[in-house]
Amino acid sequence: MASFVALAASPVAAEQTSAVDVGEIVVTAQRTSSQVSAPTHQVTTLKREEIEAGRAVSDTLSTLLAKAVPGLADSSRTMTDYGQTLRGRGALILVDGVPYNTNRDSSRNLISVDPSDIERIEVLRGGSAIYGGGATGGIISINTRPAGGPLRIETTLSGVAALSNLTGDGVGGRVQQFISGRAGDVDFALNGGYQRIAAGYDAHGDRRAPEPSQGDLIDSDAWSFGGKLGRRIGETGYLRGSLGYYRADQDTDYAADPAVGRLPPGAANARPLKGLELAEQNQVRNTIVTAGYTDRDILGSRVDVLAYYRDLFVRFTPFDARAIANRGRNVDQVYQNTKTVGARLTVDTPLGSNTSLSWGGDLGREVSDMPLDVFDPAAYDASGGLVFRRTGTLIFMPELTTDTQGAFVQLQHRFSDLVSVQGGVRYDRAEASFDTFTPLSQYRAPSPVQIQGGTISFDGWTYNLGAALTPVEGHEVYAAFSQGFQLPDIGLQLRGANAGFNLANSYLQPVKIDSYEAGWRGRIGPVAGTLAIFRTSSDLGDVQTFNNGLILLRTAERVDGVEASFDVGQGGDAWRYGGGATYLRGRERLQTATSWRNMTGYRIPPLKLTAYVQYAPTDRWDVRLQGLYSGERDYRLDGVASFGRREVKSYAVVDLIARYRPNDRDTVTVGVENLLNTQYLPVYSQLLRSSTNTSRVPANGATLTVTFKRSW
């Protein structure tokens, strides 16, 4: 069993079939398939075996990654990945090469991927423009299970129970079925499953309250389905298509008690309140369709073309917004519809044995809107926050269309076994448009003022240059400069627009970052290690909202950090152990200020340490203990708390994973998350996303997961 803190690796096949040797079908986080030069970023790779084991002690994919990837902030322990930055910035999520990020970020990128259908995950840390916008902190590239090969059938059954409170509603489980193979010239794969997500209980045995700001999936049902087909074309081509569907629906009787929110912040934890009457609860629906063609020899070049369509729907928890003027002073519930179509072209052209040219481009169109259901405030108040009777629907964010185009060129050259270099350039252009609409701030005005529709466009060039040196065998040092590009969250400003909103003066310039990194990776005997130091900076960072969106400002930003990891032991060793560390420091300067200040806890996480020890006396069974420590940090300014600026206390969590393989077909995995039943609040909960105690939700106490997998 490989360690979760993996070493940087060269680009490898993201999806293969035994039917035809076409190499990589879906490109990895590096995008290009050339191995001429050594990578100039740190990369963590998780294979399917590691992902399956990690699920035994992680309730979501975001939690699994937080325990395995240096530089990635700890998860919220809810359905959202809000605040889970990579090196203090955003991460581009790719699933089989399809970008899952949206311009109006709903923070549902990782929850809409079924971990049961994942074959491999690569996390490239550091800004990159090769894939286009969104990768300012790095790339999380997820590859689903491949089609083809000999007939393979797998059945997986899992049961989950809260050990701190062994009651019926604390018991959940999942069933998953996978089949792949080849029928004549056609490769195929089918994957489907169902999961019951039970109630969560903290270490004291108390039921966790649903998190009301970004949402939760307590008491939910989740379904998934995926299918792939592939066929060889000639001697070098491969045509493929896929369909994926994931849906999670919450059906709980509990709400977060609003009375707790009226207590001083930090004075109490969130409290569940039974009796919820809400027709439509938290929901995620994600449909993805792809078609692609790969040819490893078109005029001597390897060509990969990918087209995709994605339909994403998310529904949030209701919110009492009566104190917020620019939200219409309603008790309301927001939902978001996003449809995306796009295409990607990647071409690898060898220029001799030591040089490779990669080039290509991307096209995309995203159409997104956010309606808002309004509820009867009298019924809500009379029930103590439990009864939601819908009275109408308003526009929270109008339909927003974003068109993007990009093109890149990347050159790699190896001078000798000692030195290799790579460098490239990318050009991006984007255009966003919306129609005239009446914002919520004008909903109750005697003479409502409309916001005039319009179009705004951006473009920009980004560059990267890096070199890797192999001074002695088994050791690499590298240095790199790269730039990242990201569109601002246009919908964030439209939804909070006031009567005086002016598109031309709305701080909608794109975010462009400069990233500098130097690092080492190598092995000394049984010890393998990595070390990276880095800085990212941007003159114009993300849009920040103040006073519930009434004030919008851009900030200059600087993020500095260091990462390190080590692993002791090699394949076949009975004992293995290792760990990792990440420390970040972020500073920002508002447009209206002359001095720098610390960034918020939602951007810059505290010190994170991970460690594991593993014992595998035979190839039939192994046991692993792993731990995560999150440090303390005070994000307040002059002792004053505000959004994302509170004092965060440290916590440590230990997990246990044991696996037994009685034969070549069966595997039994037993995992206990939070083995010591520690009562703690994740960083996300301590920062109070709702700005009240209703977001102060403790993590799960000790939780048992037992999984049986049979390969037929």
Q: Are 385 and 255 in contact (CB under 8 A)?
A: yes
> Which pLDDT score, from 0 to 100, does residue 402 have?
93
Q: Is residue 6 part of a domain?
A: no
pLDDT along the chain (712 residues), means of 10: 34 32 50 73 93 94 96 95 94 93 89 94 85 85 95 97 92 97 96 96 97 93 97 95 97 95 94 96 97 95 96 95 85 96 96 94 96 96 96 94 94 93 92 90 85 87 93 93 83 79 70 92 94 93 56 79 94 91 95 89 97 95 97 96 95 98 96 98 96 96 98 94
Question: Minimal CA–CA distance to 557: which of 590, 602, 601, 594?
Answer: 590
Domain presence at residue 36: no
Residue 695: which domain range?
Answer: 43-711
Residue 660 is which amino acid?
Answer: Y
Residue 585 counted as domain residue: yes
Q: For residue 225, what are its two tokens?
A: 């389905």
Q: Quick check: is 406 in a domain?
A: yes
Domain-embedded: residue 8: no
**Strand bridging mode 237-250 / 220-233:** antiparallel
| Residue 8 half-sphere exposure toward CB, CA atoms < 13 A | 27
If one counts the domains in the chain, the total is 1
The residue among 662, 612, 621, 700 whose CA lies nearest residue 160 is 700
The enclosing H or E element of 366 equals: strand 355-375
Give, for 491, the enclosing helix (H) or strand (E). Answer: helix 490-495
Domain assignment present for 26: no
Q: In the 8-state DSSP scheme, what is residue 642? A: B
Q: Report the pLDDT value the prediction gives residue 512, as an integer from 0 to 100.
A: 85
The span from the first CA to the last CA of the chain, in angstroms, equals 22
Gap between the Cα atoms of 575 and 614, Å rounded: 6
Tokens of 448: 């409502």
DSSP label at residue 107: S
Q: What is the pTM of this model?
A: 0.93
Can you give the CATH number for the domain in which 513 is found? 2.40.170.20
Pinpoint the alpha helices (H) of 36-116.
Answer: 48-55, 61-66
The tokens describing 357, both together, are 């040219």
Cα 562 to its chain centre, rounded Å, is 21
Category of 327 on φ-ψ map: left (φ > 0), alpha (ψ -120 to 50) or beta:
alpha
How many CB atoms sit inside 10 A of residue 692's CB? 19
Q: Tokens 């420091």 map to which residue?
A: 585
Q: Which amino acid is at 442?
A: Q
1: in domain: no
- Strands (E) located in 235-300: 237-250, 254-256, 272-274, 283-298
Domain assignment of residue 38, yes or no: no
d(C-alpha 139, C-alpha 117), whole Å: 19
Rounded to 5°, angle at Cα 255 from 250 and 260: 150
**DSSP for 24-53, written as a single string:** -SS--TT-----SS--SSEEEEEEHHHHHH
Give the strand pairing for 319-320 and 331-350.
antiparallel
